[in-house]
A and B are shown apart, each in its own frame.
Chain A
Amino acid sequence: MHLDVRIPIGLLFVVFGAILAIFGLLSDPAIYQSHSLGLNINFAWGVVQIAFGAVMLWLAFRGRKAKAQISGGVRQ
C-alpha cells in the first residue's frame, strides 16, 4: 500500500502556514516596513499556504473515498 503523497504535502503546508500566520499576528509590524514593503507577508502568505495544504488534504481524502468505493464494489 502506497502512501498518498498529497497527505505529507498537505500537512507540511498547513503546519508551515499556521506557524507563519500566527507569527505574523504576533510579530512587530516594524519588520514589515524594513522588508516586505509594509505588507505583513508572514500572515498573508501563511493563509495562502494553509489554503493550499487544505486543498491537498481534501484531494487525498476524496481519492481515498473513491478507492474505498471501488474496492467495496469489487467485493460485492
Chain B
Amino acid sequence: MLTVKNLDIHVPGKTILKDVSFDLKMGQTLCVVGESGSGKSSLLRALNGLIPANFASISFHPQGRTPIDLEGRWQRKPGLPETRWVMQDPISALDPKLPLGVSIGESVFTENPTTSALRVAVAEALRDVELPSIFATRLPAEISMGQAQRACLARALIARPSLIFFDEPLSALDAIVQKQVAATMKRLQERFGMTYITVTHDLGFASAYADHILVLRDGRVEANQPADTFFNAPESSYCEKLIQAARDLGGLPEIPVQGTKSLEPQPC
C-alpha cells in the first residue's frame, strides 16, 4: 500500500538519507532499524511531508481507495491521509492543558468536542487500548508514561487509520510496560488490519514483531529484507554484527521468533 522508490534527503552540505526504497504490503509491520543518527526518524518525517525530500516515486494506496498524489498534497499541509503517527515521548505528545478525552477526540471531532457521540467514541478507543474510560478526564501530568503511550495509541486508533507510524514507541517506557504496550499494539493490528511502520533501535522488538526489516546506517540502506531471512541470513556484515551484538546482550533469542504472535496481551 505504500511504495517508495529512491528517497533522498539533503540538507545543505549533508546527505541525510540516500536511495531508500521499500514496498509495504497491507497488514504488515515494517521495522526501520538503525543507530541514532542513521536517518530513521528523518525517513518518518519525510514520509509525512514534514521535511522536504526527493523521490523517484512514491505511491500511497490506502485500503479500497485510489492512489493519492502526496507531493501535491504536501504543498498544502503535512501528513498522509488516513494515517496516524505515534511519537516517542508520549507525555510531550499530549497537550498538557487538555484532558486526554479532548486530545484523543479532537482529531475526528473538531467541530464540537463535547457531544455524546464523541464521549462514546473516546471511551471505546480507551477501552481498545485497555485504559478505563475515566481516563478521558485526566490530564497528561496525572498519568504514567505507559498510560500516556496508550492514550496516544487511542488517539491514533479513533481515526481508524489504515497505516500508523511509530517513532520509537517504546523507548520511553520501562521493560515490563514496553512488553505490555507492544502486545496491545500487536493485538490492535490484527483486529483492525492496520499496517505499521515502526522506527526502532531495538532488534529484539523487531525480531518479535516485524514482517519486513529495513536497516539504515549513516543514511544508507544496509538491509532491506523479510524479517525471517534477515535474522537467518542478513544482507551485510554490518547487520550480522548488529544481530550478534543483540544476541550477546540477551536482547534476541538464539533461535529467532518468526514474524507474528509471540506475546499474549496482558492486563495493564
A pairs with B: no
Residues of A within 8 A of B (CB): none
- Chain B residues near A (Cβ < 8 Å): none
